[in-house]
């Protein structure tokens, strides 16, 4: 079931990306990284095409470390998403799809308690997936899509 959800999510993401690319719109890179840079991960923090912003998977770390408290980690990762959206002139309410990868779904309620505080309007569509081990032993990694209102 999880593999099906991930495949469906990937298909939706690629469909949305493809439809925007087909329009021939320029790309705006946020927290961009050059393909010629060495020693940095090979991805940009987000790519904006038209009014749509595609955010890479983000973690909630302090100086490269996962905080002890799952709620604090959730706040950190959501703050990172919020800051990236603000760089694109958007807010958390512009999110239309959020995909959360979680190393242990027992953190579902703790995550949701924090997540709810980041929105003032309707919630975006969302998936919460048990993902096993994440980079840096993080509990949460979040990728998302936003469309400017």
Helix axes 70-87, 108-115, angle to 10 degrees: 40
Does the pLDDT of residue 140 top 70, yes or no?
A: yes
pTM of the predicted protein model: 0.81
Average pLDDT over residues 56-80: 96
| Sequence ranges of the domains in the chain | 2-147
Indicate the average pLDDT of the chain.
86
User: Mean pLDDT over residues 80-106, rounded?
Assistant: 97
Q: Which residue has the tokens 């309007």?
A: 121
Q: Could you tell me the CATH superfamily of domain 2-147?
A: RutC-like (3.30.1330.40)
Q: Which of 23, 33, 12 lies closest to 145 in space, CA to CA?
A: 12
pLDDT single digits (tens) 101-139: 999 999 999 999 999 999 999 999 999 999 999 999 999
Pull the structure tokens for residue 79: 């703050």
Counting residues of the chain whose pLDDT is more than 90, the rounded percentage is: 68
Using an 8 Å Cβ cutoff, are 55 and 145 in contact? yes
- For residue 85, how many other CB atoms are within 10 A of its CB? 22
Helix (H) or strand (E) holding 128, with range, is strand 125-130
- Region 89-101: mean pLDDT is 98
Binned at pLDDT 50, 70 and 90, residue 41 comes out as confident
């Amino acid at each position: 079931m999880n593999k099906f959800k991930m495949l469906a999510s990937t298909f939706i993401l690629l469909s949305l990306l493809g439809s925007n690319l087909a329009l021939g719109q320029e790309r705006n890179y946020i927290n961009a990284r050059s393909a010629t840079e060495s020693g940095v991960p090979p991805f940009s923090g987000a790519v904006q095409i038209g009014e749509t912003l595609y955010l890479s998977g983000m973690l909630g770390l302090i100086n490269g470390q996962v905080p002890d408290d799952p709620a604090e980690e959730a706040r950190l990762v959501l703050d990172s998403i919020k800051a990236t959206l603000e760089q694109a002139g958007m807010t958390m309410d512009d999110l239309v799809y959020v995909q959360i990868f979680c190393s242990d779904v027992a953190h579902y309620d703790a995550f949701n308690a924090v997540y709810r505080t980041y929105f003032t309007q309707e919630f975006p569509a969302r998936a919460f997936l048990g993902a096993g081990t994440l980079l840096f032993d993080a509990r949460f990694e979040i990728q998302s899509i936003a469309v400017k209102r």
